[in-house]
Amino acid sequence: MATAVEVENLCIRYGELTAVDGLSLTAGFGEVTAVLGPNGAGKTSTIECCEGYRRPASGSVRVDGLDPVADHQALTERIGVMLQGSGLPRHQRPRDVLVQFAGFYPNPLDPDELLEQVSLTHRARSTWSRLSGGEQQRLSLALALVG
């Protein structure tokens, strides 16, 4: 299977604190990979390096064959990220926010089709604050997939 993510000997430091020390991992296309660990273990920092939002102190990261920092623009057009919390305003409506996010990409998926795929068509005009926790997560997934 082709490699989607390749991390080799990753080190991430915050001043004197070493958050990640020598991490190596690979994940293939179509695989589901979980990054698990206690608070402060460097999970978020590692993902931020894979997204190109943080430079590693040392080591290398490749995502879909790209360097996440050097090829950041090209990478953001290929990947979607679903964070633990969305940060969406409480008044946002699922369909409206999907249409807005779709506008950021040259070839987005259809917002109405995404709502159907995540079983939120019936909630398209509700506000974020009226969605259940599971519905909010499904909307976050749709937002990660739209581009």
pLDDT for 1 equals: 66
pLDDT digits (tens, 9 = 90+) for 55-90: 999 999 999 999 999 999 999 888 888 877 778 888
pTM exceeds 0.85: no
Return the percentage of the chain with pLDDT > 90, whole number: 79
pLDDT for 76 equals: 86
pLDDT digits (tens, 9 = 90+) for 31-41: 888 889 999 99
Residue 32 region by backbone torsions, left for phi larger than 0, else alpha for psi between -120 and 50, else beta: beta
CB–CB of 118/88 below 8 Å? no
Tell me the C-alpha distance between 18 and 9, whole Å. Answer: 13
